[in-house]
Structure 1
Amino acid sequence: MAGINLFPMFMVGLLGSVHCGAMCGGIVSALSLAPARAGTPAFPVPVRTVTLQSSLPNVFAYNAGRIGSYMIAGALAGGAAGSARALAGLPALQAGGFWLANLMLVALGLYLMDAWRGLAWLEQGGRALWRHVQPLMRRVGPPDTPAKMLATGFLWGWLPCGMVYSALVTAMLTGSGTAGASVMLAFGLGTLPMLVALGAAGAQVRAFLARRAVRVASGVVVLGFGVLGLVRAAGGLPQSWLHTLCITPGVGA
């Protein structure tokens, strides 16, 4: 299937990461305070013993693992769609897929605004997978090295999350494992600034993200991406720079 514009996926990750603050902020902050090496005091250590310089390797290792899991999920979603390439070539099916992807953005925008919680049922469905992944967290052990943080982030990336699932719908539209992984990489990189900030200065950032005005503003912008995409899918948006803001086939694809 045609390529997907990656800029909207990056922006959806960036704006949607206000949800990450509520869902993952506590664990990211706690993990960043883990001892730098085995044999140091038990996790978590007092905040006063942790510096920004010492916590950043843990934060980046965790996020590298998390984004890696997103890319694998994107590759699986895109590859699964690609296995039905004959069907994916049908124009009506392609159009329906892009309508679905943009409707998911509309749903995500409303979800971020706490105006509609419809994506919660997707998270409920993902709990079946999480039940199999969660026990592996205990096998990793205390996250006292960057390697363990990498493994923890990779496993945590499979936590049921409506925001991630909405991005996976777009990854599926690519019909390619490589392109699907690229979509989820763009999305994951969008979430990176907020989650790095959460790891480095968790309490202050979580307080900022808890403000309703921040969540509503982020939700409105994500909602706008979805509406633009729907208008474009309906043929009501001429080819222009606005095209780059829509989840539609990439220009020239």
Structure 2
Amino acid sequence: MNLDFFSAFVIGLLGSGHCVVMCGGISTMLTTAISDTARHKKYAIIFAYNFGRIASYSLIGALVAFTSSMAAKNIGFPVAILKTIAGVFLILLGLYLGQWLMWLSRVEHLGKNIWRHISPHTKKFIPIKNIKSAFALGALWGWLPCGLVYSTLTWSLASADVLNGALIMFFFGLGTLPALLSVSLGTISVKSLLSHTLFRKLAAMLVVIYGIYTILIAYL
């Protein structure tokens, strides 16, 4: 596996505590929104809306990477600078996850204007009646403003390659999957571990270290 993809998966996994805190309520709401007629398909539906979410991450990653690839080709924008930006955002993400510096929360506000236009459409798919509507609802959910997602998107931006940009966000989404599945399926032990203060602080430090490493290798 490409190192960037593996690293994106690990970042998603390390940021899972944030997912439990910030998106756990949404995940629970979506699970309870499964209609009575679809109870026997509960697990398939839960996976469907989570993979809908990951599909949106991948799409956004591809769009962002396409933009940076055009900038790199047409105006000669240095890829090293894009990688530096990604490293800085990873450091900010680590500080945010550790609740030491909350600047990244300001970035989340940038996505609220987009979400305001998207969120009304989620009502069309609630209650969830089938796998198709679950996937569509998850795809809309993927546009929810999130500092964790935005930070990882800078990594797609730095890749300057559409396929790599999409795959970075895909593997990131897979990394967040255990946390949100644990919430939906009521796996208390996993949820407790991921939201534990010690886990979150350790994860935050590792993300900061990786951000510093990303900046250093940008110029090697």
**Do both proteins adopt the same fold according to a TM-score greater than 0.5, normalized to the shorter chain?**
yes
Percent identical pairs in the alignment equals 35
Which residue identity lines up with residue 166 of structure 1 in the other structure? S
Q: Is the 8 A contact 1:73 1:181 kept in 2?
A: yes
Offset, 1:216: 0.6
Pairwise mapping of residues 114-133 of structure 1 onto structure 2 (< 5 A)? 114-133=99-118
Letter in 2 for 1:84: A
Larger Rg: 1
What is the aligned partner in structure 2 of residue 28 from structure 1? 27
Match of 1:172 in 2: 157
Assess if the C-alpha contact under 8 Å between 1:31 and 1:58 holds in 2.
no
Give CA-to-partner distance per residue, 1:55-75, whole Å, 9 cap, x none: 321220111100000011011
* Aligned residue identity for 1:129: I
> Structure 1 30/138 Cα, relative in aligned 2: closer, same or farther at 3 Å?
closer
Change (3 A) 1:88 1:221: farther
CA separation in 1, counterparts of 2:192 and 2:179?
A: 13
Query: As a proportion of its length, which structure holds more helix?
Result: 2
Counterpart of 1:228 in structure 2 is: 213
CA deviations over 1:73-106 (Å, ceiling 9, x no partner): 011101112222435645xx21111111111111
For residues 145-167 of structure 1, what are the alpha-carbon distances to aligned partners after superposition, in whole Å with 9 as ceiling and x for unaligned? Answer: 22222111111110000110111
Matches within 5 A, 1:49-128: 55-87=42-74, 89-90=76-77, 93-128=78-113
Aligned mate of 2:168, from 177, 183, 186: 183
Cα distance change on mapping 1:156 and 1:202 into 2, 3 Å: farther
Gaps (5+ residues) in structure 2?
none
CA distance in 1, matches of 2:191, 2:116: 27
1:113-161 CA distance string (max 9 Å, x none) = 0011011111011101000101101122312322222111111110000
Q: Unmatched 5+ residue regions in structure 1? A: 41-49, 236-253
Match of 1:141 among 126, 136, 145: 126
CA distance in 2, matches of 1:94, 1:62: 34
Find the aligned partners of 2:145 and 2:178 in 1 and give their Cα distance. 21
C-alpha distance in structure 2 between counterparts of 1:141 and 1:170, whole Å: 33
Conservation of the 8 A alpha-carbon contact between 1:25 and 1:202: no
Closer/same/farther in 2, CA of residues 54 and 201 from structure 1, 3 Å limit:
farther
The residue aligned with 1:19 is 18
Query: In the aligned structure 1, how far is the partner of 2:98 from the partner of 2:190?
Result: 18
Query: RMSD in angstroms over aligned alpha carbons?
Result: 2.2
**Structure 2: which amino acid aligns with 1:17?**
S
Name the count of aligned residue pairs: 219
TM-score where L is the length of structure 1: 0.79
Distance 1:13 1:115, change over 3 A: same
Counterparts of 2:75 and 2:160, CA distance in 1:
7
Deviations 1:34-61 (A, max 9, x none): 44554x7xxxxxxxxx7xx853212201
Name the SS for the 2:4 alignment partner: coil
C-alpha contact (below 8 Å) 1:13/1:188 kept by paired residues: yes
Q: Secondary structure at the match of 1:123?
A: helix
Q: For 2:9, give the aligned amino acid.
A: F
Q: Which residue of 1 aligns with 2:144?
A: 159
Cα distance, 1:82–1:234 mapped onto 2, change above 3 Å? closer
